[in-house]
Copies of this chain bind each other. A is one copy, B any other.
Amino acid sequence: MDSIDADGPRRVTAAEVAALAGVSVGTVSKALSGRGAVRHDTRSRILDAAAELGYRAPHAEPIRTGYGSTGALGVIIEDHFGRLTVPVLQGAIEVLDELDLALLLVDGRGDAIREQHFADALVRRAVDGILVVGAGVYPREPIRGDLPLPVVYALSASTREGDQSVTTDDASGARIAARHLVATGRRRLTFISGPQRDAASMVRLASTRAVLAEHGLDLVHDPLFGHWTEAWGRQAALQLLHSNVEFDAVVCGSDQIARGVLEALRENDVAVPSRVAVTGFDNWDVMVEASRPPLTTVDMSLTDVGRLAARTLVRAVAGDRTPGIQLVDCQLVPRESTAVG
């Protein structure tokens, strides 16, 4: 595994890293300088190879020495332990436990002043870096103040250029759900999500429409925005049923909404999946498994986001502070609600 102060006895070359990672020297250079686009999994493979060989890029800063390495990292959770926060935290703690790094946890409760207070307290405790775990997939303001140590944002990416963030590729998630529906023969899609002001609603809507446009299609009913609840899913589905618009699929912004939709369709004798297919978003076990039928959904790979964010922070402490937002791909999880035939 990587180590905070790994430094080989002799200088390892970029060519050796490229050979081990199975890529070109140019790609190694791009990945380690952060100049130019490299897929996160390729970048990850290169960084793993670099860590294994003890490679240090020529431009890398020396290890921060102002506070002395304590082998401890601070974690600020944005707002209690939200449902999305927990798997990210779980991935991060997994990596830090493996590296024998201590994790100091504080709860910012979504309050900028509390966050700044705790960040200062973590600096006083001489942590080597800070991980900020967001409560949802939306951009956020960076922690206030000029912190003298690396900070990585997980889930909610920082809006400040030059910061390091890791989040889920929400847009790709919505695209794979829409592509799955089109590929399985659905043509008359509808869309139900949470509040229109939420970034997650708008990103998922735009991706759904983009996929439909590729096939010369559009939604057959105006998108419906409401709450992230089952009750809203039921209500919105009834609205679709009473609209007299023919539809053969409902793309939902969350598993909870999808579960409500499934319930309303069942109670109105609309067969799923034979007449209408339904997709969710989240892959929340208790929702997708209790749904009738079980729900096809999108998994945001949140534990992977946490793992990658922790590794990124460890590398930042070691000197690699390549700025930008790293995106982790979402995964389609097909179940009966979109089955064919």
- Contact surface of A with B, Cβ cutoff 8 Å: 72, 75, 80-81, 86, 89-90, 93-94, 97, 100, 102-107, 118, 121, 125, 229-231, 256, 259-260, 286, 289-290
Contact = CB atoms under 8 A, between A and B. Distances in A.
A10 B177 CA distance: 70
A105 B107 contact: no
Contacts of A89: 81
A104 B290 CA distance: 36
Contact of A104 (B86, B104, B118, B229): B104
B229 A290 contact: yes
Contacts of A118: 97
B231 A290 contact: yes
Nearest to A230: B290
A290 to B, nearest CB: 4
Contacts of A106: 93, 97, 103
5 contacts: A81-B81, A93-B106, A97-B107, A103-B104, A229-B290
Nearest to A104: B102
Contact of A121 (B100, B107, B260): B100
A282 to B, nearest CB: 12
Contacts of A75: 105
A213 B322 CA distance: 69
Contact of A90 (B80, B125, B229, B256): B80
Contacts of A94: 107
A84 to B, nearest CB: 12
A90 B81 contact: yes
Contacts of A290: 229-231, 256, 259-260
A23 B254 CA distance: 53
Contacts of A90: 80-81, 107
A259 B105 CA distance: 35
